[in-house]
Amino acid sequence: MNVHEPEHRYHTLVVTVENKSGVLARVASLFARRAFNIESLAVAPTDDENLSRITVVVDLDSAPLDQIVKQLDKLVNVVEIRELAPGHAVERELMLVTVTAEPDRRDEIVEHLDRAGGKVLSLGTDRMMLSLVGPPRRIDEFEDLLRPYGIIEIQRTGRVALASLDDALD
């Protein structure tokens, strides 16, 4: 598999870092300093309280993957980097969205939502708040679908990822 093919422009890195103050800033500052582009970034603690996990989607148009990984690895607080190549990772993202929904259009929106596997979180007189968890591309598609109704507010988490199981058994 060639990661440089256009459809593989975005590549997910799972970076395990020491859970210390300022570490996220070091990672962000490295990306800025080396002119590497970040497509999305999510940070959370792990089951080990000394470690955090940063899931970062990098844009390989801005720099070769090899350089990004090696420069990241030079950060003293970076403990491990796993590359999750597209197609070899289970990726999920959460979207919360408030959309304009006059009573006569609600059924239509809910139909889209059911098909995508999302949930209605809250209902207002002229709006609905929805949530959807899914692979980033499905979230993109659903966002496009909602746009004509009028998106009032939207928040996406950025993706998190784990290696797919058949890969992990390699």
Partner 1 sequence: MATEQMDGGRALIRALEAEGVDVMFGLPGGAILPVYDPIIDSSIRHVLVRHEQGAGHMAEGYAHATGRPGVAMVTSGPAATNIVTPLCDAYLDSVPMVVVTGQVPYAAIGTDAFQECDTTGITQSITKHNFLVTEAQDIPRIIKEAFYIATTGRPGPVLVDIPKDIVDPTNPRSAMTWTDDVEMDLPGYHPQTEVDVDLIAAAADLIRTAERPVLYVGGGILKARAADALRALAELTGIGVVTTLMARGAFPDSHELCLGMPGMHGNYTAVTAMQESDLLVALGARFDDRVTGKLDGFAPEAKIIHVDIDPAELGKVRRPDVAIQGDVRLAIEALYAELSGNGIGDTDRSAWRSRISGWQERYPLAYEPWVPGEALKPQYVIERLRDATPDDTIVTSGVGQHQMWASQYWTFDHPYTWINSGGLGTMGFSIPAAIGAKVAFPERSVWAIDGDGCFQMTAQELVTATVENVPIKVALLNNSYLGMVRQWQEMFYDERYSEVFLSPDVPDYKMWAESMGCVGMRVDDPDEVDVAIAKANEIDDRPVVIDFRVAAAEKVYPMVPSGASNSELVVPGFQEGQPR
Where along the sequence are the contacts to partner 1 (CB under 8 A)? 17-18, 21-22, 25-26, 29-30, 33, 50, 64, 66-67, 70-71, 73-80
Considering the complex, state which of residue 25 and residue 169 has its C-beta at the smaller distance from partner 1: 25
* CB of 65 vs partner 1, minimal distance in Å: 11
* CB of 25 vs partner 1, minimal distance in Å: 7
Considering the complex, state which of residue 81 and residue 146 has its C-beta at the smaller distance from partner 1: 81
* CB of 6 vs partner 1, minimal distance in Å: 21
Rounded to whole angstroms, how far apart are CA atoms 7 and 3? 8
**Beta carbons of 97 and 154 less than 8 angstroms apart:** yes
Considering the complex, state which of residue 6 and residue 22 has its C-beta at the smaller distance from partner 1: 22
Q: Give start and end residues of each alpha helix (H) in the chain.
A: 23-33, 65-73, 106-116, 136-146, 165-168
Do β-strands 89-100 and 160-163 pair in parallel, antiparallel, or remain unpaired? antiparallel
Helix 136-146 × helix 106-116 angle, to 10°: 170
Considering the complex, state which of residue 51 and residue 145 has its C-beta at the smaller distance from partner 1: 51
**Beta carbons of 24 and 54 less than 8 angstroms apart:** yes
Which residue has 């746009």 as its token pair?
147
* CB of 170 vs partner 1, minimal distance in Å: 23
